Amino acid sequence: MGRPRYFRRIFALFLAAAMAPAAAISVVYTALAGAALRGEAESRLDSQAAAFASAVSSLADSCSRDLAAVASDASVLAVLGRDGSDDPALTAMAFRRILSSFPRYAGPAEASVLSSDGSVALLLGDAPPDRDLAVYGSWGIFRSLASSALALAPRVAPLSDGSVGAFTIGVPIRGPDGSRLGYALADIRRSAVAEAAVASGLQGGASLVFPSGKVVFDQSDPSREGGFIDDVERATDSRRVSVARAVGAGGELTVFAEAPAGLYDGFGRSARMVAMAGLAGAAALAAALALRASASVTEPVLEMARSMRLVEDGDLSIRIKPSGDDELGDLARSFNAMTAEVDTLLKSEVERQELLREAELKALAAQMNPHFLHNTLASIKSLAKLGRSAEIAEVVSRLGKILRAGTGRRDGSSTVGDSLSFVRDYLSIEKVRFGERFSFDIDIADDLEDLPVPPLTLEPLAENALTHGLERKRGHGTLRITGRKDGDDAVIRFEDDGPGMEAKAMEDLSRSLEAAEPPAGDHGIGLLGTNRRMALEYGPGYGIRVYARGPSGGFVAELRIPSGGPG
């Protein structure tokens, strides 16, 4: 065993000598490349933040100029005058002037005009609560406009067209004598700010914040808008956030531009991937040289590993050609001896299990036929006591037919059609005995007639329905037998309208059928015995399941078998 240990030691030293310089180079490269990529990203983020701030400033200045033009318009001044508000034509002209500068759906802002006393309101939609001068005349934008010719204020609120506003620009409207007639307001749409952010190249977490700390725009999470910047969690690494100032419309706003999540980690990963690719190439070259030198040792080991995988998949016929008289050759010979011994043991166990399975199937079938014959003879006995000779003759004739057909299939196979013929004969015999107390109906799909089934599969279900169902019912009873395909399975149902079973008994029987328990002693030969045979024949998932027919009674036994017959 010295050679394998020597091989591993030499192989490890060879790889270490070859890989150490490459690993050192990859570490240095990763650090330098990651730093360069990070610096480039931070510079680009600063430029994008500055561009966004400039776009917001231009947007505010443009809207403030248009707003000043509206405030000085003659029709607007006339409407706000003492008698102008009563002139519909003048009011319509003022509205058109406002909409020409601030289109309702296409522009970056929605404008409105309010008189100082609140009696005149030129606005779209219903008046929002915060534009009630009686309540808010000394708050927000109105307080700023009391001492300024231009003001800026945050306002995250819905506009008349259903869009959302971000902030408001306001100018006072003064008459020829310098008296304040009212206010002209422009609500900047959030969508206009969002377009400016995207046009600036920002795709991560751009925010627009007023000096008060109120957030009026958040690109990554609009739910933060209307809150305060102190409540917003930002990246702990300060280099991931760029700050710029937006000055416009007489006010100042702060832009926070945050890099997309994972961006810097992605730069590091990219650098590491390049380094790892080079390292992998060096490792491949070193491994090729090492494997070439050690092929005489690795080939037998690889052959052994491949053979073991085949054995794990169940192929016990695999054998390894010994490589020589060394330790690997001894291992190959031991492997061959082991697989041969395991193969012999498994074949013996499989044969033993097949014999046990066949014996149990035959034992169960042997139980079924005498049970069926006993019930039929009991019917004949009852008819004899009643002196009904014609019925006895019919019963004996049908019984002879059943016995003649049954002797040829006890140890063989049957079909659904053959079994149904037996069921019809059996039910006809019982109908002679019971007269008009019950009737039966058989509706089996034609494509199931030739489906192979083990002998004595359907007969016990018919006997169970009659003996434990209809025989216990007062008055006329009905047995309905149906059969259809269900996917890859065939399902045959025996449904009677007898008194059914108690809930506890039904639960116990269902549990026993689910577990495929064999019948105990002379009891349960019908359902349990047949179900046990189906489980042995087809495997788990097949056999008999029972259900209550309905709240008023009745019993359903459902047989499920593969539609392709026994596997």
Q: Which two tokens stand for residue 260?
A: 């997309």
Locus of tokens 């061959």: 336
Q: Which two tokens stand for residue 439?
A: 């009737």
Task: Output the pLDDT for position 567.
Answer: 52
Residues 6+ apart with CB under 8 A from 560: 486, 489, 490, 491, 541, 542, 543, 544, 545
Q: How many residues does the chain have?
A: 567
CA distance 336 to 42: 66
Q: How many CB atoms lie within 10 A of CB 219?
A: 20
CA distance 272 to 282: 15
Task: Output the pLDDT for position 352.
Answer: 47
Any idea where the domains of the chain sit in the sequence?
49-258, 352-562
Task: Output the pLDDT for position 274.
Answer: 64
DSSP string over 487-555 = TTEEEEEEEE-S----HHHHHHHHHHHHTTPPP-TTSSIIIIIHHHHHHHHH-TT-EEEEEE--TT--E
CA distance 44 to 396: 102
With 0-12 / 13-18 / 19 or more C-beta atoms within 10 angstroms meaning exposed / middle / buried, residue 272 is middle
Task: Output the pLDDT for position 356.
Answer: 47
Task: Output the pLDDT for position 544.
Answer: 94
The SS3 of residue 200 is coil
Beta-bridge partner residues of 560: 491, 543
Q: How many CB atoms lie within 10 A of CB 414?
A: 22
The SS3 of residue 294 is coil
CA distance 498 to 495: 9
Summarize pLDDT for 479-500 with one digit per residue, the tens: 999 999 999 999 999 999 999 8
Tell me the percentage of the chain whose pLDDT exceeds 70: 72
Locus of tokens 């070439």: 292
Under 8 Å between Cβ of 323 and 307: no
CATH of domain 352-562: 3.30.565.10
pLDDT less than 50: residues of the chain: 1-3, 6, 235-236, 238, 351-352, 355-356, 359, 362-364, 366-368, 410, 522-524
Task: Output the pLDDT for position 270.
Answer: 62
CA distance 184 to 113: 5
Task: Output the pLDDT for position 533.
Answer: 84
CA distance 531 to 509: 11
Task: Output the pLDDT for position 212.
Answer: 87
Domain 49-258 is found in CATH 3.30.450.20: yes
Cα distances (Å, whole numbers) of residue 331 to 315, 324, 325, 338, 340: 19, 10, 10, 10, 14
Cα distances (Å, whole numbers) of residue 430 to 121, 286, 394, 444, 457: 96, 87, 11, 21, 19
Phi-psi region of 201 (alpha: psi -120 to 50; beta: other; left: phi over 0): left
CB burial readout 359-397, b (16+ within 10 A) else e: eebeebbebbbebbeeebeebbebbeeeebeebbebbee
Q: Which long-range contacts (CB under 8 A, 24 or more apart) does 35-39 make?
A: 37/267, 37/270, 37/271, 38/239, 38/264, 38/267
pTM passes above 0.85:
no
Beta-bridge partner residues of 148: none
Under 8 Å between Cβ of 469 and 496: yes
